[in-house]
Amino acid sequence: MKISLALQLQNMLKEEQVKEAIKKRSRAKKLELLISRSFLFTLNFCIVVSSWVGIYFVNVYQQSISDYLKTRYSWLTYVAAFIPSVCLTIINGIIPLLTNMIIYFERWDYASSVINNQIWRNFLAKEFNIIIFFLINVDMIVPQDIMEGS
């Protein structure tokens, strides 16, 4: 109980210090933070979109990639069928690392802002990656005539 109260007081003190530091920022510093955060957010969005493109191309060219791996590396014969799943796993492992690095460079003032940004960006990136993977595979499984309704 005493430790919890001490931590709460310590956090309140830190918040007050951060609020004071924010009040003392010049307009130039505020503009610099706004521009850098906007640029880094756009960079993060581009990384996520490029992961979607990667997922798309790996799924579309799955057979070509599989054939290449089988001829070039015979020991990958059994793994070649799982290339799209492996790529999705790798992408879903790399995206959070890159996103967290970008959020670190955005220099958010409060730890809660950092955590909120990490959670929603990583969650949306992973969910959209899985949705795109699913839609590509449904498009490949279901004949085009059924998709168009004719």
- As averages over each run of 10 residues, the pLDDT of the chain (150 residues) reads 77 80 88 94 95 87 84 79 83 93 91 91 90 80 55
Which pLDDT score is estimated for 62?
Answer: 85
- Residues sharing a CB contact under 8 Å with residue 47, sequence separation 6 or more, in sequence order: 95, 98, 99, 102
Which pLDDT score is estimated for 94?
Answer: 94
Which pLDDT score is estimated for 34?
Answer: 93
Which pLDDT score is estimated for 148?
Answer: 54
- Give the model confidence (pLDDT) of 68-111 as tens digits: 888 888 777 777 778 878 888 898 899 999 999 999 999 888 88
Strands (E), the chain: none
Query: What's the sign of the alpha-carbon dihedral 71, 74, 78, 84?
Result: negative
Taking a C-beta distance cutoff of 8 angstroms, is the pair 111, 69 a contact?
no
